[in-house]
Amino acid sequence: MCGIAGRILTSPGKVGNDLVELMDAQEHRGADSTGFAIYGLPRDEGYVLRGMGFDKSAMSADLDDFKNILHDHGSDFMDDMHIVTSHEQHYCFRMEIRDPKDLVAWVRDADAISHRIEIQSCGRTLEIIKDTGGAAEVAEKHKVRDMIGTHGLGHARLATESSVLPNASHPFWARPFSDVAIVHNGQITDYYTQKKHLERQGYRFLTENDSELIAVWVSDQIKAGMTVQQALTKSVSSIDGVFTFMIARPDGIGFAKDRFAMKPLVVIDQNGDLAAATEEQAVRRIFPNECDVINYDGPSLTGIWGVGNRSLAA
Amino acid sequence: MSETVIEVGKRHIREINEEIQEACKKGDRIRVVNTLSRHNLGVGLPDGADITFEGSVGYFCGGLNTGSTLHIERNAGWALGEGMAKGMITVEGYAGMSVGAAMIGGTIHVKGDTGPRCGVAMKGGNIVVEGKIGYQSGFMAHSGKIIALGGAGDSCADALWQGEVWVAGEVSSFGVDVNIVEPTAEEVAEVDAILEPLGLVDSSRNWRKMISGQRLWYFESRDASAWLMI
């Protein structure tokens, strides 16, 4: 049992604050870890990286190695990085980098030291913030409430199939596709089969978490020529298990539910001002007054909510 | 009868339910306000209480009810009235998955649609839905009746035991092991007797009555002495 949430604003605003509220209301569904994927104001060049280092005592040397790999790919830091540390062994960072010559090749090389430093999101607009602990704790540590953007995702995790580690928290970035993030409630039962198939195509997974797989699976279908909607529809018949997932891109949020209708999804959509969550009591944090609620309770449901002009709306 | 008004908001559910129970003991009519779709409201209520929820409620509202009358003015979340034994629950709007799961008595009346698996594993009582019942409703219902006036979704009445699913309107698809039978006049009269206090009798309805085909039963239930030897 996990809790997931999505939020779309009609214009850029405090989407971080809203996602913290959505996840705080669902903390009982999983307090092992909490995470947020926030789509800020897009940039024309350069990427924002969010990541994690696993050994605070080796931080300086590990970041130097990370920087050297960036240099090898014609990139560099654009400004001072922001580092968040605590009493724990790991540390989190935010940095902005110039465009590498080949993003996919750079991610592949940077992942060679992923046991020391792990990139958790890379995008023109996407930033993934995740850590162990409940919504309020993670939000305070990483100043999530202050984050401005157009839309985003949230996740409260009850670890069932993999470890309680900060990097096993959700959301997951669809490595190496920039600006794609996913949150998922459920279990994928053909995980190893699907993972081997994608690994044979060259994709790399840094965790044994099934949600990481869905993000890459959907992105791979889109890369092969499918529309987002077609990929979501295909996921329902191709991925085995019980699930509700939301996948976000710069232009919107898509969702899919399994064939057996085992996991909930509740939405309030007021002309594009939209909140989606596992539980209705969470979306009531955003829309406390009585209003129409859409319960996506049925099986095999998919759809897309577009940002801004709503052109993607299903 | 005096009235007690109980505020929900962000307060602890245990505290709210204790206040509801206290008001029940005094015999007050109870209004629960600012419900915000919170879970577990009005669980384990005693016989004879009368409670109105002014707004939407979350999961398990009215669960384990032993005879109270609950009125929910908007929507209900999952597992409405789960395990209830007696009493009446009315929902003005939509009710989520597993309405009346494992209930053993009483009546649940939903004026809108329901989510999937309405009446899953129910062991008695009646569920009346004015709208459409969701995917796989009636799944493994042991006893009791699910009566849907606005049709049914896919896999309707899947794997029934001795429960009955009555549907007026379209059924998207039938579940495994369904036997669709023509109801007798006496059986229709029994259903009308359930609908009559709700003001829902309509003699022009074309009913589909679904019962188990008994092809999934792995024991001879009609010979208890035989299966008790297993």
Q: What is the ipTM of this complex?
A: 0.82
Question: How is residue A97 written in tokens?
Answer: 């980098």
Q: Are B4 and B26 in contact (CB under 8 A)?
A: yes
Residues in chain B: 230
Mind listing the domains of chain A with CATH numbers? 3-42+125-306 (3.60.20.10), 45-121 (3.30.70.260)
The Cα A36–Cα A170 span in angstroms is 8
Tokens of B168: 């007026």
pLDDT of residue A174: 96
Of residues A283, A288, A298, nearest to B153 (C-beta): A298
Task: Sort out which chain B residues have CB atoms less than 8 A from A287's CB and list them.
Answer: none
CATH of the domain at B121: 2.160.20.60
- Pairing between β-strand B164-168 and β-strand B143-148 as defined by DSSP bridges: parallel
Q: What per-residue confidence (pLDDT) applies to A313?
A: 39
Q: Which residues contact A144 (CB under 8 A, 6 or more apart)?
A: A16, A17, A19, A20, A36, A38, A129, A138
Chain B contact for A279 (CB, 8 A cutoff): yes
Q: What is the mean pLDDT of residues B187-209?
A: 97
Instruction: Single out the residue of A121, A94, A246, A230 nearest to residue A179, CA to CA.
Output: A121
Q: For each of chain A's 314 residues, which pLDDT tens digit applies?
A: 789 999 999 999 999 999 999 999 999 998 889 999 999 999 999 999 999 999 999 999 999 999 999 999 999 988 888 999 887 889 999 999 999 999 999 999 999 999 999 999 999 999 999 999 999 999 999 999 999 999 999 999 887 766 778 888 899 999 999 999 999 999 999 999 999 999 999 999 998 888 899 999 999 999 999 999 999 999 999 999 999 999 999 999 999 999 999 999 999 999 999 999 999 999 999 999 878 899 999 999 999 999 975 554 33
Nearest CA in chain B to A263: B97
Q: What is the mean pLDDT of residues B15-28?
A: 95
Range of the domain at B49: 3-227
Distance CA B32, CA B53 (A): 5
Angstroms from A287 CA to nearest CA on chain B: 9
Q: Which residues in chain B have Cβ-Cβ distances shorter than 8 Å to A261?
A: 97, 115-117, 134-136
| Predicted pLDDT of residue B122 | 97
pLDDT for position B221: 58
Which among A26, A279, A295 is the top mutation candidate for probing chain B, defined by the most B β-carbons within 10 Å of its own β-carbon?
A: A295
Nearest CA in chain B to A279: B58
CB contact under 8 A, A297 and B36: no
**What is the model's pLDDT at position A287?**
95
End-to-end CA distance of chain A: 27
A&B contacts, CB < 8 Å: 55
- For B81, phi then psi, to 5°, come to 65, 25
Q: Do B135 and A295 touch (CB under 8 A)?
A: no
pLDDT given for residue A314 in this prediction: 39
Residue A2 known to be catalytic: yes
Structure tokens at B55: 């707004």
The three-state secondary structure class of B94 is coil
Give counts: helices (H), strands (E), chain A. 8, 16
On the question of pLDDT at B223 being above 70, the answer is: no
Secondary structure of residue B112 in the 3-state scheme: coil
- What is the least distance, in Å, from the CA of B189 to any CA of chain A? 32
CA distance B194 to chain A (A): 27
Question: Does the pLDDT at position B123 exceed 60?
Answer: yes
Q: Decide if A127 contacts A121 (C-beta within 8 A).
A: yes
| Chain B contact present for A281, CB below 8 A | yes
Both tokens of B10, joined, read 């962000």
Q: A147-187, pLDDT tens digit by residue?
A: 999 999 999 988 776 677 888 889 999 999 999 999 999 99
Burial of A182 (0-12, 13-18, 19+ CB in 10 A): buried
Residue linked to tokens 């009308």: B192
Number of domains in chain B: 1
